[in-house]
Amino acid sequence: MNETASANTTPGTAPVPGPEQKHNTPIHNRNYSQAIKQSPEFMSFQVDFAVCLKELRGYFHTIIAENFKSPDFLLEKTNSLLRPGQTTIDFFDMLHNLRSVDDSIYVHSLNVALIARMIGKWLKLNAEDLETLTIAGLLHDIGKSLIPDDLLNKQGRLTDEEYDLLCQHAKLGYDLLKPLPLDSRIKKAALMHHERCDGSGYPEKSTTDDIDDFAHIIAIADVYDAMTAARTYRAPLSPFQVIAEFEKDGLQKYKPKYILTFWNILLPRTRTIMYCSATDVPQTSFC
């Protein structure tokens, strides 16, 4: 699987949708999605998610302006999105049905933070490490704030030069975070979340032992969220399809301890987790 290429970021490789590609979702999926969206739990989640997005956007701007403040307030708001007693199915249903929010960097960053926190819980990380991992998810893509919007939102193929520029977001994010009084694992996650165990990633083509453990976890959450998001040329992939893609070469690209935990817990639930109609999804992309 080449998850980066699948997000229309590899130069010259983005497929062009033909007339046979229709963004259809089975009626039972749409009904399921509608039922979720009409529930009081979802409505409350949607409001709190929007508030958290606003705070996250402001926090990115604060860091870029070199006016650092502790992310504790943001962490508290993020953690509140994971409701007491919420099941794995409940959680992913909420995320998939929020796809109508059109805000690629911030929605993606918040989703990755929440997914990474879930993985951390499955791994039985201690409370302090869970908090650090969540912050790492929130800030992993902060470097994209320094990439021109017209490049981030470009529909269609990227040139070699554009792709190289986009790939710089990992190093740009690390450079923003490096001087700040944050856990080093947060900074490394920004730098390494596109690295892969087989050396096929970027920016440094690091391999398994050179990649920080939190970056390994963020990488899985990052790819899962990217693949279940809509693209200009395809509807979002279902959780089952994403797990199938992970199974193709996941053990080569991702640390087995983490990818096995992810798919062994999520796979039995993927037939139950539904996703909303592609007609409700913004046609945006990111890597």
**What digits encode the pLDDT tens for the residues 63-89?**
999 999 999 999 999 999 998 888 888
What local confidence, expressed as pLDDT, does residue 282 receive? Answer: 32
What local confidence, expressed as pLDDT, does residue 89 receive? Answer: 85
Q: Could you tell me which of 139, 250, 133 has the C-alpha nearest to residue 190?
A: 139
Torsion of CA 250, 255, 261, 266, to 10 degrees: -30
Question: Which whole number is the average pLDDT over 47-76?
Answer: 94
For residue 40, pLDDT beyond 50: yes
Distance CA 245, CA 224 (A): 10
Question: Which whole number is the average pLDDT over 156-169?
Answer: 92
What local confidence, expressed as pLDDT, does residue 274 receive? Answer: 43
For residue 170, pLDDT beyond 50: yes
What local confidence, expressed as pLDDT, does residue 270 receive? Answer: 56
What local confidence, expressed as pLDDT, does residue 203 receive? Answer: 97
Between 12 and 216, name the one with better pLDDT. Answer: 216
Question: Which whole number is the average pLDDT over 273-286?
Answer: 37
Question: Amino acid identity, residue 1?
Answer: M
Query: Within 13 A of 67's CA, how many CA atoms are on the CB side?
Result: 6
